Amino acid sequence: MKESGRSSASRAKTAAVVEDDEDLVFIYSRILKDVGYDSVFVARSGEEIIHWISTDMRSLDVVIMDYRLPKINGLDAAREVIRHSPQTKIIMATAHDEIKAEAESLGFSFLRKPFSMKTLAKEMRRPALVV
């Protein structure tokens, strides 16, 4: 059945956190739940999120993605997420300023660590960029 639109009343909101720092996984997951995401998938590597998005039938509304990840960096993993789920909003959450221009050119949001949880919550509510 084809979905029409993104009404939050008609379907559950799903998110993913791709981060290898356990404290940040906990914080990001909590914020996602607090702002209304019903389901939060946690991946600790780029490979894990790519495997999940390529085999799971659900699409993601938002992904909070670190850049420095084991084996596959966050930009490459985010490209694969978008290939499988083009409407997914990607938030690159990293201390690596050198990827900001590339991330934004791909339509991803960019948050430089450290940032406030209020800033993260605000960014999650903004619509995804269309490139």
Report pLDDT digits (tens) over 21-48: 999 999 999 989 988 898 999 999 999 9
| Strand-strand pairing, 109-112 and 39-43 | unpaired
Number of other residues whose CB lies within 10 A of the CB of residue 74:
27
**Which residues sit opposite 109 in a β-bridge?**
91
CA 54 to chain centre: 15
Q: How far is residue 86's CA from residue 99's CA, in Å, rounded to a whole number?
A: 20
Q: How far is residue 7's CA from residue 18's CA, in Å, rounded to a whole number?
A: 25
Question: Please, what is the average pLDDT of the chain?
Answer: 86
Report pLDDT digits (tens) over 89-105: 999 999 999 999 999 99
